Amino acid sequence: MPTALITGITGQDGSYMAEFLLGKGYEVHGLIRRTSSFNRARIEHLYVDPHESRTRLHLHYGDLGDSARLITLLSDISPDEVYNFAAQSHVRVSFDEPEHTGDATGMGVTRMLEATRLSGKECRFYQASSSEMFGATPPPQNEQTPFYPRSPYGAAKLYGYWMTRNHREAYGMYAVNGILFNHESPRRGETFVTRKITRAVAGIKAGRQEHVYLGNLDAIRDWGYAPEYVEGAWMMLQADEPSDYVLATGTPCTVREFVVAAFAHADLDWEEHVRFDERYLRPTEVDSLIGDASEAERILGWKSSVAVDELARIMVDADIAALGHDSSPWIDTVTLPSWSDDIPGDRRP
């Protein structure tokens, strides 16, 4: 049974990856942060009480800021694959918290790479790199495109990208960068623009709110469906040779076009409900990201299949359904297990 460690398992991608790997028969370990209230809704449905039956999902407290903890965990778990999804992942927030973003999103990668290297085991390493690294470089963007980050987040990801490449070249590690363009789902964080829009559509439809405040509607993004992208990340670690790949749909869409699609799906007139708030503008914006994922298709056989209009419909439907039974949109409330262990970091029986 292969063993994987996922950092950022409580986030969108980490939760889909956990689900995907458990489905493939992996033993899955996840790094979680200690928080004052539970934030495990995205993986709640995967939880099995270890007191009652054997589980292949194990959670461990830790933080990308804590090298000693990471070194101990990596040598203890000794995984075959590491998926480093953990990061301060919000671009706008990175302008408010540039130092913290540099530490978690940038230096955190080095800590994970070093902990993996020092564990002494042959282990494949996936780094969640980002199309934000292309920043101001015009589209289409692929693996050969020069980088020009436009935010503290983009700069931190670029550092992580190069550290990953350097570990591959310096130490012969199987360490790769997935340069992923935006990918969304009903599990998307509520303050990223697609989810903010689809939640607002659901709220307006239900009569719970009247307006949603947005920033730049002209930005162009290449939005895909997250479950397909985590499968692509896994495929990168199964290839014969380590290499970096872009994953994208290749289809441009403005924020405004996403708004139109989401509101239209709920039979709402967006112009009656969308308002502008300059607080959502960024000091430096990334105007246009459109990926060219032909290398991933050629070498890995990966190709996205969910188009952006369908993505908007999936997300609106999930948010409307969630409002109907007042729960998270990805959880079936009837089958919900409850967390009972207060020491999820403990792997001993």
Give me the residues that bind ligand NDP (CB under 6 A), please. Answer: 7-8, 10-14, 31, 33, 35, 39, 63-65, 85-89, 104, 108, 128, 130, 180, 182-183, 189
Q: Determine which residue in the list 24, 48, 191, 209 makes contact with ligand GDR, applying CB under 6 A.
A: 191
Is 167 annotated to bind a ligand? Reply is no
Binding to ligand GDR by residue 257, rule CB under 6 A? no
d(C-alpha 239, C-alpha 241), whole Å: 6
Residue type, 321: A
Active site residue 153: yes
d(C-alpha 180, C-alpha 134), whole Å: 11
d(C-alpha 32, C-alpha 39), whole Å: 9
d(C-alpha 155, C-alpha 152), whole Å: 5
Binding to ligand GDR by residue 162, rule CB under 6 A? no
Print the binding letters for residues 64-93 with ligand GDR: x by CB under 6 A, - otherwise.
-------------------------x-xx-
Binding to ligand GDR by residue 244, rule CB under 6 A? no
8 binds, among ligand NDP, ligand GDR, none (CB under 5 to 8 A by kind): ligand NDP
Q: What is the 3-state secondary structure (H, E, C) of 112-139?
A: HHHHHHHCCCCCEEEEEEEHHHCCCCCC
Residue closer to ligand GDR, measured from CB, 12 or 119: 12
Is the distance from CB of 89 to CB of 105 less than 8 angstroms? yes
- The phi, psi pair for 343, rounded to 5°, reads -130, 65
Is the distance from CB of 235 to CB of 281 less than 8 angstroms? no
Active site residue 130: yes
Q: Residue 296 Cβ, how far from ligand NDP at the closest point, in Å?
A: 14
Name the site residues for ligand GDR (rule: CB under 6 A): 89, 91-92, 130-132, 181-182, 191-193, 196, 214-216, 219, 221, 255, 280, 282, 285
